[in-house]
Chain A
Amino acid sequence: MSMSFKMALRSIGSNKLRSVLTMLGIIIGVIALVVLVSLVNGATKSVNEQIASLGTNYMQVYIWNTWDDPLTSRELETWADGEELVETVAPTIQNSATAKSGARSKQVSVVGTTSAFYDIRGLKLEKGRFLKPVDVQNNSCICVLDSIAADNVVGYRDCVGQEISLNGIRYTVAGVLAENDSMMMFSGESTVYIPFSSMLRQYAELSGGIDSFYAIPPKGVSVSDAAASVRNWLSGRFEKDEWGNDNFYVSTMDALEDSASSVTSVLSALLGGIASISLIVGGIGIMNIMLVTVTERTREIGIRKAIGATRRSILRQFLMEAVVLCMMGCIIGVFLSWCILNLANSVVQGLGLTFDLDAGVVLLAAAFCFAIGLIFGLYPANKAAKMKPIDALHYGG
Chain B
Amino acid sequence: MIDLKDITKVYQIGEEKIYALNHVDLHIAPQEFVSVIGPSGSGKSTLMNIIGLLDTADAGVYTLDGIPINEYSENALAGVRNRKIGFVFQNFNLIAKLSAEENVELPLIYAGTPVRERSRRVEQALEKVGLSSRAKHMPTELSGGQQQRVAIARALVTDPSVILADEPTGNLDSHTSAEIMEILEELNDQGKTVVLITHDNDIAKRAKRSIHILDGKLSEVRL
A residues within 8 Å of B by Cβ? 3, 10-11, 14, 299-300, 302-313, 388-390, 393
Task: Give the residue among B49, B78, B109 with the most A Cβ atoms within 10 A.
Answer: B78
For residue A391, give the distance in angstroms from its CB to the closest CB of chain B. Answer: 9
A10 to B111, CA, bound (A): 21
Check B97–A307 contact: CB distance below 8 A.
Answer: no
Q: B93 interface residue, CB < 8 Å from A? A: yes
Contact partner of A308 among B49, B83, B93, B95, CB < 8 A? B83
For residue A304, give the distance in angstroms from its CB to the closest CB of chain B. Answer: 7
Contact partner of B95 among A3, A303, A393, CB < 8 A? A303
Closest 3 CB pairs of A and B: A308-B82, A310-B78, A390-B55
Check B52–A306 contact: CB distance below 8 A.
Answer: yes
Check B93–A303 contact: CB distance below 8 A.
Answer: yes
Check A307–B82 contact: CB distance below 8 A.
Answer: yes
> A303-B93, A308-B111 provided; 8 other pairs, C-beta below 8 A?
A302-B93, A304-B106, A306-B54, A307-B87, A307-B154, A311-B74, A389-B53, A389-B55
Contact status of A390 and B110, CB under 8 A, knowing A309-B78, A311-B78: no
Interface size class, chain B: 20 to 34
Task: Give the residue among A299, A303, A306, A309 with the most B Cβ atoms within 10 A.
Answer: A306
Check A305–B78 contact: CB distance below 8 A.
Answer: yes
Beta-carbon nearest neighbor of A397 in chain B: B91
A-B CB contact pairs (8 Å), 9 listed: A299-B93, A300-B95, A303-B95, A304-B110, A306-B81, A308-B82, A308-B158, A309-B78, A311-B78
For residue B113, give the distance in angstroms from its CB to the closest CB of chain A. Answer: 11
The 0/1 profile, CB within 8 Å of A marked 1, for residues 133-150 of chain B is: 000000000000000000
How many residue pairs bridge A and B at CB < 8 Å?
A: 60
B residues within 8 Å of A by Cβ? 49, 52-55, 74-75, 78-79, 81-83, 87, 93-95, 97, 106-107, 109-111, 154-155, 158
For residue B154, give the distance in angstroms from its CB to the closest CB of chain A. Answer: 7
Interface of chain B, main secondary structure: helix
For residue A287, give the distance in angstroms from its CB to the closest CB of chain B. Answer: 22
A299 to B54, CA, bound (A): 13
In the complex, chain A residues whose CB is within 8 Å of the CB of B106 = 304, 307
For residue B95, give the distance in angstroms from its CB to the closest CB of chain A. Answer: 5
Contact status of A307 and B110, CB under 8 A, knowing A10-B97, A393-B93: yes
A312 to B110, CA, bound (A): 11
In the complex, chain A residues whose CB is within 8 Å of the CB of B87 = 306-307
A388 to B49, CA, bound (A): 12
Check A308–B79 contact: CB distance below 8 A.
Answer: yes
In the complex, chain B residues whose CB is within 8 Å of the CB of A303 = 93-95
In the complex, chain A residues whose CB is within 8 Å of the CB of B53 = 389
Beta-carbon nearest neighbor of B50 in chain A: A390
A302 to B83, CA, bound (A): 17
A307 to B163, CA, bound (A): 12
For residue A310, give the distance in angstroms from its CB to the closest CB of chain B. Answer: 4
Check A14–B79 contact: CB distance below 8 A.
Answer: no
A309 to B52, CA, bound (A): 14
In the complex, chain B residues whose CB is within 8 Å of the CB of A308 = 78-79, 81-83, 107, 110-111, 158
For residue B150, give the distance in angstroms from its CB to the closest CB of chain A. Answer: 12
In the complex, chain A residues whose CB is within 8 Å of the CB of B55 = 388-390
Beta-carbon nearest neighbor of B111 in chain A: A308
In the complex, chain A residues whose CB is within 8 Å of the CB of B52 = 306
A178 to B82, CA, bound (A): 84
A306 to B74, CA, bound (A): 13
Check B74–A307 contact: CB distance below 8 A.
Answer: no
Check B54–A3 contact: CB distance below 8 A.
Answer: no
Check B79–A311 contact: CB distance below 8 A.
Answer: no
In the complex, chain A residues whose CB is within 8 Å of the CB of B154 = 307
In the complex, chain A residues whose CB is within 8 Å of the CB of B83 = 308
In the complex, chain B residues whose CB is within 8 Å of the CB of A11 = 97
Check A310–B110 contact: CB distance below 8 A.
Answer: yes
A99 to B95, CA, bound (A): 91
Check A307–B54 contact: CB distance below 8 A.
Answer: no
Contact partner of B110 among A10, A302, A313, A389, CB < 8 A? A313
Contact partner of B81 among A10, A300, A307, A313, CB < 8 A? A307
A393 to B48, CA, bound (A): 13
In the complex, chain A residues whose CB is within 8 Å of the CB of B81 = 305-308, 389
A219 to B75, CA, bound (A): 73
Check B82–A389 contact: CB distance below 8 A.
Answer: no
A308 to B52, CA, bound (A): 11
Contact status of A390 and B97, CB under 8 A, knowing A308-B79, A310-B110: no
In the complex, chain A residues whose CB is within 8 Å of the CB of B78 = 305, 308-311
Beta-carbon nearest neighbor of A392 in chain B: B54
For residue B83, give the distance in angstroms from its CB to the closest CB of chain A. Answer: 7
For residue B25, give the distance in angstroms from its CB to the closest CB of chain A. Answer: 22
Check A389–B54 contact: CB distance below 8 A.
Answer: yes
A257 to B74, CA, bound (A): 63
Beta-carbon nearest neighbor of B79 in chain A: A308
Contact partner of B75 among A3, A306, A310, CB < 8 A? A310
Task: Give the residue among A303, A304, A309, A393 with the most B Cβ atoms within 10 A.
Answer: A303
In the complex, chain A residues whose CB is within 8 Å of the CB of B79 = 308, 310
Beta-carbon nearest neighbor of A14 in chain B: B97
Beta-carbon nearest neighbor of A10 in chain B: B97
For residue A8, give the distance in angstroms from its CB to the closest CB of chain B. Answer: 12
A299 to B83, CA, bound (A): 21
Contact status of A307 and B75, CB under 8 A, knowing A390-B49, A390-B55, A393-B93: no
A310 to B75, CA, bound (A): 6
In the complex, chain B residues whose CB is within 8 Å of the CB of A305 = 54, 78, 81
Contact status of A393 and B110, CB under 8 A, knowing A11-B97, A303-B93: no
